[in-house]
Amino acid sequence: MFLKGKVAVITGSTKGIGFGIAKKMHDEGAYVVINSRSEADCKKACKKLGEKRCMFSACDISKREEVKKMMNLVVKKYKRIDILVNNAGIYPFKSFSDLDDETWDKTMAINLNGVYYCAQEALKKMKKGGRIVNISSVAAHIGFSSLVHYCASKGGVEGFTRGLAIELAPKGITVNAVAPGAINVTGKKDAMKNNPLTNSIPLKCFGEPKDIANLVAFLVSDEASYITGECIKVDGGMTIRNP
């Protein structure tokens, strides 16, 4: 429908939101590049999608040289990169009083540095009409106890998105962010129905990976060519109640 023949790199795409995005793009006709640190998980995800329009590259996005190698492998096979979705991220729960430098640095290395490395390397082979979507979080807009480091990293992602959107606009490349709220990544229907967090969500339910995937697929399509520098929340109204 939207993405036939496009080459899309999605980081952290072996499960949850990332796999949901990869599946949606694959269903829409894109060539999908699966990524995570686990080669075994990448192989499983690729097999689920169908290997004819899917390849994988297991790498740690917090390491520049590994990212560079991944992007080079993609270009070697597909000759270009049309779409980058920076989805990979971590959210280790730790109170601020107990927060250590190692946890802080690792969170920033993956959630923020990884976005920077992937975008910079992908852009070397991205032309006019290219699309970058960064997966942020409602944590960039509302605070969460024991996730100060995560909130900070996602706030950085949104600032990065706006700045890069301005810089790339003259090249015809758009950059946007999507901020998920509470998403059911367990794969089990109704698994989150009785979760206390639903009380803070006006729609009274968790979202599903497809809710994020549908928006991302639109943002990377030609139909969204006049949208850039935006962060769109997909949270069932959570941030309406907690602005």
Catalytic residues, by residue number, are 150
The residue written with tokens 């639903």 in the block is 198
Distances 127 to 12, 46, 82, 102 between C-alpha atoms, Å: 24, 26, 7, 37
Distances 225 to 1, 20, 114, 218 between C-alpha atoms, Å: 16, 22, 25, 10
Q: Which residues contact 39 (CB under 8 A, 6 or more apart)?
A: 56, 58
User: Can you tell me whether residue 161 is helix, strand or coil?
Assistant: helix
> Shortest CA distance to 175 belongs to which of 186, 184, 162, 188?
162
